[in-house]
């Protein structure tokens, strides 16, 4: 994600060592179907642009960037979606099976008015386009025009109580998802934000991209987008949002706590245990770019972490 006052940014959803070590095991276990899917999905995604329902009534968001956008083909054919595959190309084909209707999101916990909201009601909320930059994996990034609404708008529907300090996001588990058979992560996938992070105007619930309904492999029908987190916190296909008094566990933190903290604020001055975080590379480019603090949004969000040691609270 990007703000006009910045020239660059960087996001990230990086494969932990334990997961990377099991990739060959997973590929063998999934058999010829998935192995074929790795190549088939790559060629299929490159050969066709999916036709999808266009979103009307979309306004230009106040947070945007003039940077060149990643092509729709690249953004929809290179995806992190472990419920379908640890491979980045396979979800484009495998996620076609995802059932996105009917779809409801339960919103409860420390709120005055818990409720279950149908996706069609969420699609009717006023939405805008925001061009944000997201990191994909191991330093690769994209610039994507997301369509969505501020999370704060959804929160106002349920009225968080004074006890609410965090927000937990839980994603779908379906029999359409072959990756759930393998304990790569603790399913269902869960993410979390501090309440003030969730309520920040940069945080959106995305229901589309490139002016159309969200493709399955990109987290249909509704997902979380937090631009200063470098692609972390990108919970896809959300079915449950819970306001809590205590800090919720998150999938990556449970998988590798020494590498992935709760906050996921990538510090370019602090190396990841297995690589430098100082640079990233845009999809379609060869040169590396500097990794910016808070993905270039320091002016907007640095105050959220005043007094915190971001080497320890990573």
CA distance 194 to 214: 26
CA distance 78 to 241: 27
Q: Are 9 and 1 a contacting pair, CB within 8 Å?
A: yes
Would residue 290 count as lying in a domain? yes
Would residue 235 count as lying in a domain? yes
Would residue 97 count as lying in a domain? yes
Counted domains in the chain: 1
Would residue 301 count as lying in a domain? yes
Which of helix, strand or coil describes residue 42?
Answer: helix
Q: Give the per-residue pLDDT at 70.
A: 93
Q: Give the per-residue pLDDT at 52.
A: 65
Alpha helices of 1-160 — where are they, by DSSP H? 17-21, 23-47, 72-77, 91-94, 119-123, 151-158
Would residue 4 count as lying in a domain? no
- CA atoms lying within 13 Å on the CB side of residue 189: 26
> Residue 266 belongs to a domain with what CATH number?
3.90.420.10
CA distance 215 to 157: 26
Q: Give the per-residue pLDDT at 27.
A: 38
Would residue 116 count as lying in a domain? yes
What domain range is 175 assigned to? 17-305
Q: What is the mean pLDDT of the chain?
A: 84
Average pLDDT over residues 238-243: 98
CA distance 72 to 79: 12
Q: pTM value?
A: 0.83
Average pLDDT over residues 83-102: 96
Whether the predicted pLDDT of 65 surpasses 80: no
Would residue 2 count as lying in a domain? no
Confidence class for position 32, pLDDT limits 50, 70, 90:
very low
Would residue 227 count as lying in a domain? yes
């Amino acid at each position: 994600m990007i703000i006009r006052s910045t020239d660059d940014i960087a996001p990230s959803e990086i494969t932990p060592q334990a997961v990377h070590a099991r990739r060959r095991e997973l590929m063998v276990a999934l058999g010829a179907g998935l192995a074929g899917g790795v190549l088939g999905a790559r060629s299929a995604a490159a050969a066709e642009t999916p036709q999808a329902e266009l979103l009307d009534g979309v306004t230009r968001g106040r947070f945007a960037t003039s940077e060149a956008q990643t092509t729709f083909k690249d953004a929809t054919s290179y995806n992190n979606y472990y419920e379908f595959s640890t491979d980045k190309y396979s979800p484009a084909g495998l996620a076609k099976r995802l059932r996105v209707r009917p779809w409801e999101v339960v919103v409860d916990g420390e709120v005055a008015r818990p409720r279950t909201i149908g996706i069609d009601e969420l699609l009717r909320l006023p939405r805008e386009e925001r061009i944000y930059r997201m990191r994909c994996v191991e330093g690769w990034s994209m610039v994507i025009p997301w369509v969505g609404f501020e999370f704060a708008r959804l929160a106002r529907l349920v009225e968080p109580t004074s006890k609410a300090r965090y927000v937990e996001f839980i994603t779908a588990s379906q029999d359409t998802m072959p990756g759930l058979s393998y304990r790569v992560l603790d399913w269902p996938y869960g993410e979390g934000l501090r309440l003030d992070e969730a309520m920040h105007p940069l945080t959106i619930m995305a229901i589309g991209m490139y002016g159309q309904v969200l493709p399955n492999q990109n987290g249909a029908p509704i997902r979380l987008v937090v631009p200063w987190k470098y692609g972390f916190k990108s919970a896809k296909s959300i079915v449950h949002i819970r306001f809590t008094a205590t800090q919720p566990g998150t999938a990556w933190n449970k998988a590798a706590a020494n590498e992935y903290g709760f906050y996921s604020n990538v510090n370019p001055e602090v190396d990841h245990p297995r690589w430098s975080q100082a640079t990233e590379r845009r999809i379609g480019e060869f040169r590396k770019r500097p990794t910016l603090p808070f993905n270039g949004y320091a002016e907007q969000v640095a105050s959220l972490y005043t007094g915190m040691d971001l080497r320890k609270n990573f």
